[in-house]
Amino acid sequence: MNEREGDAKNNNKEKKEEEEEEKEEEEEEEEKEKEKEKEKEKKKKKKKKKKKKKKKKKKKKKKKKKKKKKKKTKKTKKGIKSEMDSEREKESCRLRGGVVRVRLWLKP
């Protein structure tokens, strides 16, 4: 009887040790998975920041271009012509079905 009880105790100890080892392994795996998820989230955040920066740069470039177009003026032999006037002329020529021509702008 004593031998059987001793064997049973040893078996129980071994089982408990195995269970503890399995639990530790599972915990380690879970920690690794959590770390991987955190790294993925960090990468996503970095990508979003880069995209936002690119969008901001594009918007700034577009705004600058628009401002330049409004400010520029063309000098001709007989006067100064703004780009807005030349665009209106081109549109009116297109509406009439004619070829777009650049005309000299005369001062009134």
What's the CA angle centered on 67, arms 73 and 90, to 5 degrees? Answer: 50
Tell me the per-residue pLDDT of 41-68, one tens digit each, with 9 for 90 and over: 999 988 888 888 888 777 777 666 555 5
Token pair belonging to 47: 């990508």
Residues 9 and 25 in one domain: yes
Residues 67 and 79 in one domain: no
Residue 102 pLDDT: 52
Residue 95 pLDDT: 58
The better pLDDT of the pair 47, 101 is held by: 47
Residues 57 and 78 in one domain: no
Residues 82 and 66 in one domain: no
**pTM for the complete prediction?**
0.37
Residues 61 and 84 in one domain: no
Residues 65 and 12 in one domain: yes
User: Is the predicted pLDDT of residue 11 greater than 90, yes or no?
Assistant: no
The domain in which residue 100 lies consists of 72-108
Nearest in space to 105 (alpha carbons), one of 63, 71, 77, 64: 77
Q: Say how many domains are in the chain.
A: 2
